[in-house]
Amino acid sequence: MNNFVYDIPTKVYFGENQLGKLAQELLKFGRRVLMTYGGGSIKKIGLYDRVVGELKAAGIELYELSGIEPNPRIESVREGARMCKEHNIDVLLAVGGGSTLDATKFMAAGACVDHDPWEFFGADAKPIECALPIVTILTLAATGSEMDTGGVISNLATGDKLGRLAPALLPRVSFLDPTLTYSVSRFQTACGAADMMSHIIEVYFNTQKDLFMLDCFMEGMLKTIVKYAPIALREPENYEARANLMWTSSWAINGFINGGKRKAWSCHPMEHELSAIYDITHGLGLAILTPRWMEYCLDETTVDKYVQYGVNVFGIDASQDKMTIARESIRLTAEFLFDTLGLQRTFGQVGIKREDYAVMAQKACRYGDIKGFKTLTPADVERIFEMCEQ
């Protein structure tokens, strides 16, 4: 196993009726709070009133920024950073899904610098040395933003959707109440499951053979998604299903499973180019790409990983020959994503056009070839895009 540093100090309040601790946690950082949220789902589920009531009762000076978009835009980040400076904010409270959380992270960082927050992104990105403290209330299990150091922001003016990691962006406290996800639509529940599945697959499909403990952990999380996502679709208010999915989303990307792995992620850089141009939901793009990428990477040098995955996650009969098991593991992954979760399966169904493949492939490789499970050049990425047509 490689050397690694594991340092995830986010304090998590997990479960129902934990919001009574919200005000006291915020007050540890100060009295002036900027609360951020999206397009209104938190009002529909009564969460907005609960949170505002709680904070006002505690004497907190509350400012608000609403309307953060799915695939959040740099304009929202700029506005949040500006408000933090104008009102001398002590702590940011992000209430929502990954988009709200991600945008809030860069508002918190933008509040500490004089330059445009977009300069945190790209090849010549400015350092993120500090950020205001961030507290989150998660309402959608998917991205893991509640417990990770990353975020992804879109810039329509440049046609880019770029991610950035920095320890300063890690939420200090996150409230994870599975009942807040009961109202998440079938589609977003399915996309969330596909996203967390991809976060694990990006790490699990690895040629290193010495990560047995972490492999077992990842297989357990993959089995959790395969078991509970269909239940959450059938019974949106099934606490056990929502709770298992929510905690899996956090652990899929909080750094624990990485274990010093040095290979890059593959489907995420490709997907971010799809949602940059077509504004599709991240998990949907991943669902379409993942089985095709798996198929593209399968050969005699990689087959063992597919066998391990197919046997341990999907229970495929281990006595068959390796290639048969590997192909069956890809078929079962596609069946789960497209038939069980009901996500669309081709680029054509979501309106992605061939004329954009070349530019999306070049941008997916903007930092060089993708050195993942198998190294992908722009030409490889274009080939995977073509496979997404069938």
Report the interface residues with ligand NZQ, using CB under 6 A. Answer: 38-42, 45, 70-71, 96-100, 102, 139-140, 142-145, 148, 150-152, 180-181, 183-184, 188, 192, 195, 253, 268, 282-283
**Residue written as tokens 């406290």?**
173
Kindly report the length of the chain. Answer: 390
**Residue written as tokens 């949040």?**
80
Q: Can you name the residues that pair with 62 across neighbouring β-strands?
A: 33
Give the residue with the Cβ less far from ligand NZQ, 139 or 308.
Answer: 139
Distance (Å, whole) CA 340 – CA 52: 38
* Residue 363: CB minimum distance to Zn ion, A: 17
* Residue nearest Zn ion, Cβ-based: 195
- Helix (H) or strand (E) run with residue 364 in it: helix 357-364
* Residue 149: CB minimum distance to ligand NZQ, A: 8
Q: Can you name the residues that pair with 12 across neighbouring β-strands?
A: 174
Give the residue with the Cβ less far from ligand NZQ, 311 or 360.
Answer: 360
Phi, psi of 226 (to 5 degrees): -65, -35
- Indicate which of Zn ion, ligand NZQ, none lies near residue 98 (CB less than 5 to 8 Å, by partner kind): ligand NZQ
Helices (H), the chain: 22-27, 41-44, 47-57, 74-86, 98-110, 186-204, 212-234, 239-251, 267-278, 282-297, 303-314, 322-334, 347-350, 357-364, 378-387
- Indicate which of ligand NZQ, Zn ion, none lies near residue 99 (CB less than 5 to 8 Å, by partner kind): ligand NZQ
Give the residue with the Cβ less far from Zn ion, 152 or 307.
Answer: 152
- Indicate which of Zn ion, ligand NZQ, none lies near residue 259 (CB less than 5 to 8 Å, by partner kind): none
The DSSP symbol for 111 reads T
- Indicate which of ligand NZQ, Zn ion, none lies near residue 102 (CB less than 5 to 8 Å, by partner kind): ligand NZQ
- Helix (H) or strand (E) run with residue 191 in it: helix 186-204
Contact (Cβ atoms closer than 8 angstroms) between residue 372 and residue 265: yes
Give the residue with the Cβ less far from ligand NZQ, 183 or 208.
Answer: 183
* Residue 348: CB minimum distance to ligand NZQ, A: 22
- For 6-29, give the DSSP string: -----EEEESTT-GGGHHHHHHTT
Give the residue with the Cβ less far from ligand NZQ, 98 or 310.
Answer: 98
Distance (Å, whole) CA 91 – CA 267: 34
Give the residue with the Cβ less far from Zn ion, 280 or 325.
Answer: 280
Looking at the chain, the number of H-run helices and the number of E-run strands are 15, 10
Would you count residue 90 as binding Zn ion (CB under 5 A)?
Answer: no
* Residue 258: CB minimum distance to ligand NZQ, A: 13
Give the residue with the Cβ less far from ligand NZQ, 275 or 312.
Answer: 275
* Residue 39: CB minimum distance to ligand NZQ, A: 3
- Per-residue contact flags (x/-) with Zn ion for residues 191 to 230, judged by CB under 5 A: ----x-----------------------------------
- For 43-66, give the DSSP string: HHTTHHHHHHHHHHHTT-EEEEE-
Binding site for Zn ion (CB under 5 A): 195
